[in-house]
C-alpha cells in the first residue's frame, strides 16, 4: 500500500535580495539551470503561471507596496538624521519579512498518470486555499507558478502580507508587512495544514495529511540512510586507525618496560612520545563524531514518533524506520564503547605522565609538564586529572597553579621523588 501525502509549507523571505533570488528560481531566469540535474530545462516551457508576472520580483514588489513606501518616506522627513532609513534599508533591517513563499505539492506517486489539465485542477484547488482559507487577496499574490520541469510537480506561490495596523504609539493606522495576520504561529500553521488536507479530500483527492511536526526538518528517509552510512564508515575508519596506533603504542611500551631508566634518568624514546600523540589525536577525531551520531539518532527517534502518530501505517516506511532505528541504536552503542576505550587510554597516559614527573630527569620533566598543560588546555585533562598527575612531584606547584588547584592541597615534595623510584609499569 502506497500512501500519498498532501504537503503545504511556508518559507519566509526576509530581505529584498532573498526575494530577488527566489524570483530568479521561480521564473527560471538563471543560466545555471542548464547544468542543474534536478531541472530539465527543455521542459521549463511547460511550467504554468497561475498568477503571471512579466517583470522582476523586486520591481513588482515595489509597485505592490508603493503606498507603504510613500508613507515611510513621509515619516522620514520628520525623523532624526541618525534614525533616517531608506525604504529598502528599513525592509532589510526590519525583523518582519518582505514576503512569504507558499509551497504546495504531494508525493510523486500522486501525480502519476495525471494530465496537464488534472494538475491544473489540483493547483486551482490549492489557490482557493490561499484565497479562502489563508485569506490573501488576489492583489497580495506577487506570483504563483506550477513547476513541471522537476521530478515532482509543485507550486511556488509568493505572497506579500501587506496590511494596515494600529500604531499604539501614534494611535494611527500604518502600513506594515505582517505574516502573523495570516499564519500566527506553528500551532496555527498545523491547523491550516489540516484545512488544506480537508479541502483536497473534499475535492476527491486520495491524499493523507502530511506528517505533523515534520516541517522542522525537511529531510527524507533516504537522506538519513546516507548520513547513517557515512557516519558508520567514518567511525569504522577511526576505529581501525585507533587500533593500529594502539598496537604501536603497546609495542613501544613493551620496549620501554624492558629498560625504562637507569638509577638517575628515565629513558623515553621519541617514538614512544610520537605514538602516544597519534593515539590521542585519533581518539579526538573519533570523539568528534559523537555529537553527529547523537544528532542523527535523536532525529530518527523523532521521525519514528511522527510516523507512529499516523492513523494508517505505511508498512514499507515502517520497516525502513525500524531498520534505521536499530542501526542507529547499534551505532550509538559502538560510540559509547569507543568513548569508554578513549577514557581508558587517557587514564594510561595520565599514569605515564605521572611516572615521568616522578622519576624522569629535568629535561624529561619539562617536556612532560608542557605536554600536560597542552592536554589541560585542550580539555583532555581536568583539574582533578592534574592533581592526580602532579601531586607530590617537583612540578606540583607549577601545574597546580596552572590548573587553579587550591594551594592548601599542595604537599612538601622536596624529597618525594626518591620513594617513587622503581620499576616502570604500564598496562592497557
User: Each residue of 234-287: pLDDT tens digit?
Assistant: 666 666 666 676 666 666 656 554 444 454 555 555 666 666 666 666 666 666
pLDDT tens-place string over residues 189-233: 989 999 999 999 988 888 887 656 554 444 455 555 556 666 666
Give residue 281's pLDDT.
67
Give residue 417's pLDDT.
45
Contact call for residues 384 and 347 (beta carbons, < 8 A): no
Please compute the mean of the pLDDT values over residues 124-144 and round it to a whole number: 95
* pLDDT band with cut points at 50, 70 and 90 for residue 389: very high
Tell me if residue 191 falls in helix, strand or coil: helix
Q: What is the value of pTM for the model shown?
A: 0.52
Higher pLDDT, 231 or 427: 231
Give residue 183's pLDDT.
93
Would you list the domain boundaries of the chain? 5-210, 222-420
Give residue 423's pLDDT.
40
Most confident of 167-171, 203-207, 297-301, 330-334: 203-207
Q: How far apart are CA 281 and CA 299, in angstroms?
A: 29
Give residue 1's pLDDT.
41
Give residue 420's pLDDT.
46
The enclosing H or E element of 262 equals none
Q: For domain 5-210, which architecture applies?
A: 2-Layer Sandwich (3.30)
Q: Which residues of 192-216 are buried (b: 16+ CB within 10 A; e: fewer)?
A: bbeebbebbeeeebebbbbbeebbe
Most confident of 30-39, 358-367, 405-414: 358-367
Contact call for residues 231 and 289 (beta carbons, < 8 A): yes
Give residue 158's pLDDT.
97
User: Residue 386, Cβ neighbours under 10 Å: how many?
Assistant: 23
Give residue 228's pLDDT.
61
Contact call for residues 416 and 359 (beta carbons, < 8 A): no
Give residue 409's pLDDT.
76
Cell numbers at 259, concatenated: 629498560
CB-based contacts of 183-192 (< 8 A; 24+ apart in sequence): 183/10, 183/100, 183/134, 186/215, 189/10, 189/215, 192/8, 192/133, 192/134
Q: What is the pLDDT of the chain when averaged over all its residues?
A: 78
Residue 41's nearest CA partner among 32, 50, 49 is: 32
Q: How far apart are CA 156 and CA 169, in angstroms?
A: 37
Among 96-100, 173-177, 286-290, 322-326, the range scoring the smallest mean pLDDT is 286-290
Give residue 175's pLDDT.
92
Contact call for residues 390 and 396 (beta carbons, < 8 A): yes
Q: pLDDT at residue 392 above 60?
A: yes
Q: How far apart are CA 177 and CA 179, in angstroms?
A: 7
* pLDDT band with cut points at 50, 70 and 90 for residue 407: confident
Please compute the mean of the pLDDT values over residues 20-30 and round it to a whole number: 88
In Å, how far are 27, 164, 206, 208 from 109, measured between CA atoms?
25, 42, 11, 13
Among 3-12, 296-305, 321-330, 412-421, the range scoring the smallest mean pLDDT is 412-421
Sequential DSSP letters for 292-355:
HHHHHHHHHHHHHHHHHT-SS--HHHHHHHHHHHHHHHHHHHHHHHHHHHHHHHHHHHHHHHHH
pLDDT tens-place string over residues 137-188: 999 999 999 999 988 999 999 999 999 988 877 788 899 999 999 999 889 9
Amino acid at each position: 500500500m502506497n500512501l500519498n501525502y498532501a504537503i503545504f509549507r511556508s518559507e519566509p523571505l526576509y530581505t529584498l535580495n532573498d526575494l530577488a533570488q527566489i524570483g530568479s528560481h521561480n521564473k527560471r531566469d538563471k543560466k545555471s539551470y542548464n547544468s542543474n540535474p534536478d531541472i530539465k530545462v527543455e521542459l521549463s516551457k511547460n511550467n504554468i503561471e497561475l498568477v503571471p508576472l512579466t517583470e522582476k520580483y523586486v520591481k513588482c514588489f515595489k509597485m505592490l507596496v508603493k503606498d507603504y513606501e510613500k508613507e515611510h518616506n513621509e515619516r522620514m522627513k520628520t525623523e532624526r538624521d541618525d534614525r533616517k532609513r531608506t525604504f529598502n534599508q528599513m525592509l532589510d533591517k526590519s525583523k518582519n519579512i518582505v514576503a512569504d513563499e507558499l509551497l504546495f505539492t504531494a508525493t510523486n506517486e500522486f501525480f502519476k498518470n495525471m494530465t496537464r489539465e488534472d494538475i491544473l485542477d489540483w493547483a486551482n484547488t490549492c489557490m482557493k486555499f490561499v484565497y479562502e482559507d489563508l485569506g490573501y487577496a488576489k492583489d497580495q499574490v506577487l506570483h504563483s507558478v506550477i513547476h513541471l520541469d522537476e521530478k515532482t510537480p509543485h507550486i511556488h506561490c509568493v505572497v506579500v502580507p501587506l496590511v494596515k495596523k494600529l500604531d499604539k504609539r501614534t494611535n494611527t493606522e500604518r502600513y506594515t508587512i505582517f505574516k502573523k495576520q495570516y499564519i500566527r504561529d506553528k500551532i496555527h500553521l498545523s491547523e491550516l495544514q489540516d484545512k488544506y488536507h480537508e479541502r483536497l479530500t473534499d475535492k476527491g483527492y486520495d491524499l493523507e495529511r502530511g506528517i505533523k511536526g515534520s516541517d522542522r526538518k525537511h529531510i527524507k528517509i533516504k537522506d538519513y540512510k546516507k548520513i547513517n552510512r557515512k557516519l558508520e564508515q567514518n567511525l569504522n575508519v577511526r576505529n581501525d586507525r585507533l587500533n593500529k596506533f594502539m598496537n604501536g603504542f603497546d609495542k613501544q611500551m613493551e620496549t620501554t618496560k624492558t629498560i625504562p631508566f637507569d638509577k638517575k634518568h628515565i629513558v623515553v624514546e621519541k617514538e614512544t612520545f610520537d605514538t602516544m600523540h597519534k593515539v590521542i589525536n585519533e581518539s579526538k577525531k573519533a570523539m568528534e563524531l559523537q555529537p553527529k551520531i547523537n544528532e542523527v539518532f535523536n532525529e530518527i527517534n523523532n521521525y519514528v514518533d511522527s510516523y507512529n502518530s499516523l492513523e494508517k501505517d505505511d508498512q514499507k516506511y515502517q520497516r525502513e524506520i525500524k531498520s534505521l532505528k536499530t542501526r542507529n541504536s547499534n551505532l550509538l552503542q559502538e560510540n559509547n564503547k569507543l568513548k569508554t576505550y578513549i577514557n581508558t587510554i587517557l587514564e594510561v597516559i595520565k599514569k605515564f605522565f605521572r611516572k615521568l614527573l616522578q622519576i624522569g630527569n629535568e629535561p624529561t620533566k619539562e617536556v612532560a609538564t608542557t605536554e600536560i598543560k597542552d592536554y589541560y588546555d585542550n580539555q583532555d585533562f581536568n583539574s582533578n586529572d592534574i592533581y592526580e598527575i602532579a601531586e607530590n612531584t617537583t612540578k606540583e606547584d607549577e601545574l597546580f597553579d596552572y590548573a587553579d588547584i587550591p594551594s592548601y592541597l599542595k604537599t612538601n615534595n622536596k624529597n618525594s621523588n626518591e620513594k617513587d623510584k622503581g620499576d616502570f609499569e604500564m598496562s592497557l
